[in-house]
Amino acid sequence: MLRDRGTIKWNSLMLPEHVQILKDMWKDDQKATAPQLDEQALEELNERCNQAYEEEALVRVTQFKNGTFHDEKGTITKLLPQEQSLKFTRINGTSISIPIHNIVQVDTL
């Protein structure tokens, strides 16, 4: 079996600019594509947000931002339809604003 060292053997011959371009390319390859939610999924997401807000339930909100998925745990404290966002209080007590178009999933805990 051939034991190849991959790009390590070529590093001494590569310019630093080329190495940086390769690192950026590998980082971009790891990014996920944004999921496309259909109308039924958006309606279900809206219903879950409203129910969690009314019940002041503990939820996990999954949002897609900058090519990655981020989970936040806490409660929905305010729905802002004009700003198309919601106010969210994390478990540790800090408040954040989450744009509605970034939200992919809402699960009650």
Q: What is the pLDDT of residue 60?
A: 96
Domain boundaries, the chain: 39-108
| pLDDT score at 17 | 87
Q: So what's the pLDDT on residue 28?
A: 77
Tokens 């007590």: give the residue.
93
Per-residue pLDDT tens listing for the chain (109 residues): 566 666 666 677 778 888 888 888 888 777 778 788 899 999 999 999 999 999 999 999 999 988 888 999 999 999 998 999 999 999 999 999 999 999 999 999 8
pLDDT value, residue 2: 60
Q: What is the DSSP string of 8-72?
A: GGGGGGS-HHHHHHHHHHHHHHTPPPPP---HHHHHHHHHHHHHHHHHT-EEEEEEEETTEEEEE
pLDDT for residue 19: 82
What's the pLDDT score for residue 3? 66
Of the candidate CATH numbers 3.50.50.60, 3.30.300.130, 2.50.20.10, 2.30.30.520, the domain formed by 39-108 belongs to 2.30.30.520
CB-based contacts of 59: which residues, under 8 Å, 6+ apart? 48, 52, 73, 74, 75, 76, 106, 107, 108, 109
Find where tokens 């408040």 sit: 95
